[in-house]
Structure 1
Amino acid sequence: MKTALLQLNVSDDPAANLPRTVEMVTQAADMGAEFILTPEVTNCVSTNRAHQQSVLSHEEDDPTLAALRQVASDRGVHILIGSLALKTDDPDGRFANRSFLICPRGDILARYDKIHMFDVAISNTETYRESAGYRPGERAVLAQADFAPIGMAVCYDMRFPRLADALVTAGARILTYPSAFSPISGAAHWHSLLRARAIEAGAWVLAPAQTGTHASARHKTRTTYGHSLAVDPWGEVVLDAGTAPGIYVFDLDLEKVAEARRRIPSRENARPFEAP
């Protein structure tokens, strides 16, 4: 199955980002991709909560979601919108970081709100507190696409193998980790974590990513790591997109899932044990 990872460099202006995103998704379909994945916060990369409040929408009004649903329907493709930053009705005003799987009819097959919030101090100059602006999700989601069950996750979720284990136990053959990853932790951990999740699960791991320095007219800019990855169930990196924005196409061979699980049946070999 021809699959495309979109590596984006979006700004903090959703209206300006949308035409390019639609163009790239359409080009990926023209290249023969039947499954197209975009990164985390496809609509807007911003660290300024007041700015987000002025430019973001609720799910039912979001232009990026509506446009990509239309493209999926027009071109007859599955689209994994890595995530959208969306307004909620939460009393504290926090946003949702929500991933969507869109079917070829343009319907929303599944939604997933990112569970694990990126609250870290990577260095003296690089700190994040995602939970200050986003409310965490509470439910793991297995999406039933017609070609395979997909375990939906987002970015920082990759550091929590219990989530991947729950998704694979429920039947996932593909795990998705759309991301906007820090360059410092990306250089140290990105490839290792994604390969580990693929090997442990005996599943495909697909991680479309944001890349580069993200434009902002009025607020602090942010830089992301890039290196969108496709890792097969044996842990081999099938695709590494480097740092350039673009459309990256590869063949998703789902037969490799059964092959990897047959060669190393670690899930069948797992045993209960008493914790220390």
Structure 2
Amino acid sequence: MSSELVIAVAQMTSIDDVDANLMQIEALLEDIFKSHKPRLVGFPENCLYMRTKEGEKILGFALTDAVFSKLSELAKKYDTYLHLGSVPLQLEGHLYNSSMLVTPAGEVKPTYQKLHLFDIHLEGQKPIRESDVFRHGQRPSIIEVDGWRIGETICYDIRFAELFSQYARKEVDLLLVPAAFLVKTGEAHWEILLRARAIESQSYLIASAQGGTHMGVNGGVRETYGHSLVVDPWGAVVGQVESRNVGYAIATLTKERIDGVRRQIPMKFHRRLPVA
């Protein structure tokens, strides 16, 4: 595997307009590649479509939709992997909150379907029920970029350490946590959870986030926390977007850092599974 992996974590303010979101992705890529050449660019949850009005019907994408052809062209143009943190995707007659990987050769493939769906009711806010729209994913997913083993999650998954424990036991090098965190929970839990998952997995972690005020073309407004992060295996923040605005951060990940952390605290030799 490559000893280094240069990545970009991209932060967006997506809305309920696919063309507008695609233009935002194109602008981000153009800006990133003016002065950097990341091998992997991570985009957030709901990067191509963000529902702004709770209860509005989501039709979902098909793999044959033209937007994926455009993203394929962009991946080939920049010779990079594009990770679409999530899109509402129709698979086998069901709608999933699904991550997708676009390769430098232009291949587009769904890779992971969100396991833990966001059904919550915060005090003073309307309930949110993701399971009213999406079907639960069934399994973890590990993808590879230049020999780097990458474990996939989406947003609310970050609260469930047992998923990350599976990736830790398989010694992934990097964890992906694309997200659209609410402001209230983001202020309280975002950085704490991300750094904890990186520390206990002894892996890098990149979290591309939605951030800002999402003004829907069909009405409705949403607010998301932003503050996209890159965390190293020791739990140090090594890259971030320090706002709720559209932007990006670049980081160079190294195998040396991973090996150094795991050598100092060899958790894989100490891990015991509790007996029920």
Normalising by structure 2, what TM-score?
0.91
**2:46 pairs with 1:45:** no
**2:9 pairs with 1:8:** no
Q: CA RMSD in A?
A: 1.8
Q: Report the equivalent of 1:247.
A: 248
Query: Match for 1:85 among 71, 83, 88?
Result: 88
Residues 161-208 of structure 1 show CA distances to partners (whole Å, capped at 9, x for unaligned) of 111111232231100000000111111111110001000000001000
Q: Report the equivalent of 2:153.
A: 153
Report the Cα distance in structure 1 between the residues aligned to 2:100 and 2:43, rounded to whole angstroms.
10
Any conservation in 1 of the 2:10–2:247 contact (CA below 8 Å)?
Answer: yes
**2:39 pairs with 1:34:** yes
Report the Cα distance in structure 1 between the residues aligned to 2:169 and 2:109, rounded to whole angstroms.
20
* More deviation, 67-76/33-42: 67-76
Deviation at 1:220, TM superposition (A): 2.1
Deviation at 1:59, TM superposition (A): 2.4
Any conservation in 1 of the 2:12–2:24 contact (CA below 8 Å)?
Answer: no
Specify the code of the residue in structure 1 equivalent to 2:75: A
- 1:178-193 to 2 correspondence within 5 Å? 178-193=178-193
Any conservation in 1 of the 2:98–2:110 contact (CA below 8 Å)?
Answer: no
1:100 counterpart SS class: strand
Report the Cα distance in structure 2 between the residues aligned to 1:194 and 1:19, rounded to whole angstroms.
29
**2:261 pairs with 1:257:** no
Q: Report the equivalent of 2:27.
A: 23
Deviation at 1:274, TM superposition (A): 2.7
Query: Judging changes above 3 Å, is the alpha-carbon distance between structure 1 residues 52 and 159 closer, same or farther for their aligned structure 2 residues?
Result: same
**2:103 pairs with 1:103:** yes
Report the Cα distance in structure 1 between the residues aligned to 2:183 and 2:231, rounded to whole angstroms.
20
Residues 234-258 of structure 1 show CA distances to partners (whole Å, capped at 9, x for unaligned) of 0001122122211221222232111
Normalising by structure 1, what TM-score?
0.91
Deviation at 1:88, TM superposition (A): 4.4
Deviation at 1:68, TM superposition (A): 1.9
Report the Cα distance in structure 2 between the residues aligned to 1:251 and 1:239, rounded to whole angstroms.
9
Q: Which consecutive residues of structure 1, in runs of 5 or more, have no partner in the other structure?
A: none
Query: Judging changes above 3 Å, is the alpha-carbon distance between structure 1 residues 19 and 127 closer, same or farther for their aligned structure 2 residues?
Result: same
Any conservation in 2 of the 1:6–1:248 contact (CA below 8 Å)?
Answer: yes
**2:81 pairs with 1:75:** no
Residues 64-98 of structure 1 show CA distances to partners (whole Å, capped at 9, x for unaligned) of x32222211122111111111223453xxx63211
**2:223 pairs with 1:223:** yes
